[in-house]
Amino acid sequence: MKKNLWFVVSILMVAAMLIAACQPTAATQAPAAGGSTAALPSIGFTIYKYDDNFMSFVRRAIENAAAGKADIIMNDSQNDQAKQNEQVDTMISRGVKALAINLVNPQGASAIIEKAKAAGLPLVFFNKEPNATDMASYDKVWYVGTTSAESGVMQGKIIVDSWKAHPEWDKNGDGVMQYVLLKGEPGHPDAEARTEFAVKTVEEAGIKTEQLELQTGMWDSAKGKELMDAWLAKHGEAIEYVIANNDAMALGAINSLQGNGYFGADNKFMPVVGVDAIPDALVQIKAGTMVGSVLNDAANQGLATFELALNVASGKEVLDGTSWTLDDVKAVRVPYVGITLDNISIAEESYK
């Protein structure tokens, strides 16, 4: 009987020891906030439409920068401002700590600012800039993008240098550059500035110009091809230069030109310039079917957007630990770089 009692007691003691060993101690408790397994800050992002060539690279840069640092919610607004507004509402309801918004329409900024303000959330706009009044309406709003006029000036310089280097491009010998221009989204700050300053820079360099056509291609390659097809049918050899507000439309124009016998065995040529210096455009520059582009630095725009959003989502100062600076309208300006075959490696490096 005593042996049986001792056996039972022994079993109970061993069981108690095993239970005690399984209980967490001060050394095995989950780390407090800020430790290696603490929850990552949640940040809500929108892209105005995923199938925009340039924005796809900005999105990739954001996602790469966020790895292991934040829980990001990424949305395709499908070029629909109402849809984007709904996405913002959903992200707020999900408890994000900050919003980063690539607007569908810059005029939609005020409504999104009001949503963020009501929720007490910091807000970073990127790539499409709200107007100064909207930016000044909330102390927790910032912008990441570029100086719109700069891209137009740089594109204009590429046009000037190439036109002066190739007097044979003046096909009718009248001393005037007859051009067509593919414009981005009407009212978009970049589209308006690029359209104005590209031509203004050319004219200020003493080159006379004549605008044969200017229509919106809405940043889209297919629309660029469609317009170029129509212009070639209407003007033919009278067109001496193709200026595009972005590379997607420029690539559409090149597609049209190739279908109409340009860049082929008979050396029929048409100068084309774009903006963004996306990889597909760099291929065309190397092939000699595109004169040049202007690097719109997707990698650094994405990085700056994420770094600012992460800081404010974490309760830090917006520029804490970054190399960026803010201008007088609370904007980080990522510089453009003019790209031709001579310095194409700069653009190639930005995509590695």
Collapse the DSSP code of 273 into the 3-class scheme (helix H, G, I; strand E, B; otherwise coil) and give the result.
Answer: strand
Q: 160-164, 220-224, 265-269, 340-344: lowest mean pLDDT where?
A: 265-269
Q: Name the phi and psi angles at 75, rounded to 5.
A: -125, 140
pLDDT at 9 over 90: no
Give residue limits of the domains in the chain. Answer: 42-146+297-335, 149-295
Say what the pLDDT of residue 1 is: 42
Asked if 81 and 105 touch (Cβ cutoff 8 Å), the reply is: yes
Asked if 42-146+297-335 and 149-295 have one fold, the answer is yes
Looking at residues 119-146, what average pLDDT do you find?
A: 97
Evaluate if residue 215 carries a pLDDT over 50. Answer: yes
Decide which of 53 and 161 is more confident. 161
Burial class (CB in 10 A: 0-12, 13-18, 19+), 152: buried
pLDDT of 296: 93
Helix, strand, or coil (residue 209):
strand
Inform me whether the pLDDT recorded for 14 exceeds 90: no
* Cβ proximity of 50 and 76 under 8 Å: yes
Residue 189 has pLDDT above 90, yes or no: no
- What would the mean pLDDT of 236-261 be, rounded to a whole number? 98
CA 142/CA 129 separation, integer angstroms: 10
pLDDT computed for residue 25 by the predictor: 31
Tokens of 260: 């109409």
- Quick: pLDDT tens for 18-46: 333 333 333 222 233 333 336 899 999 99
CATH number, domain 149-295: 3.40.50.2300
Judge whether 175 and 208 are in contact, CB under 8 Å.
yes
pLDDT of residue 188: 87
Q: In the predicted model, is pLDDT for residue 285 greater than 90?
A: yes
| DSSP-assigned letters across all residues of 85-122 | HHHHHHHHHTT-SEEEE--SSGGGHHHHHHHHHHHT--
Structure tokens belonging to residue 238? 């009278």
Share of the chain above pLDDT 70, in %: 89
Provide mean pLDDT across the span 108-133.
Answer: 97
The pLDDT, as a whole number, for residue 11 is 45
Among candidates 105, 118, 101, 120, which has minimal Cα distance to 44?
A: 101
* Dihedral class, residue 123 (left if φ above 0, else alpha if ψ from -120 to 50, else beta): beta
Q: d(Cα 328, Cα 306) in Å, to the nearest integer? A: 21
Flag whether pLDDT at 7 surpasses 80: no
Residues 6+ apart with CB under 8 A from 301: 58, 61, 126, 127, 144, 145, 146, 334
> At 187, is the pLDDT very low, low, confident or very high (cuts 50, 70, 90)?
confident
Find the mean pLDDT for residues 58-62.
Answer: 97
For residue 263, the SS3 value is coil
Tell me which fold the domain 42-146+297-335 belongs to: Rossmann fold (3.40.50)
**For position 37, what pLDDT does the model report?**
37
> What is the pLDDT at residue 352?
82
Residue pLDDT, tens place only, 133-183: 999 999 999 999 999 999 999 999 999 999 999 999 999 999 999 999 999
Cα–Cα distance for residue pair 276/132, rounded to 1 Å: 25
Residue 349 has pLDDT above 50, yes or no: yes
Question: Bigger pLDDT: 303 or 16?
Answer: 303
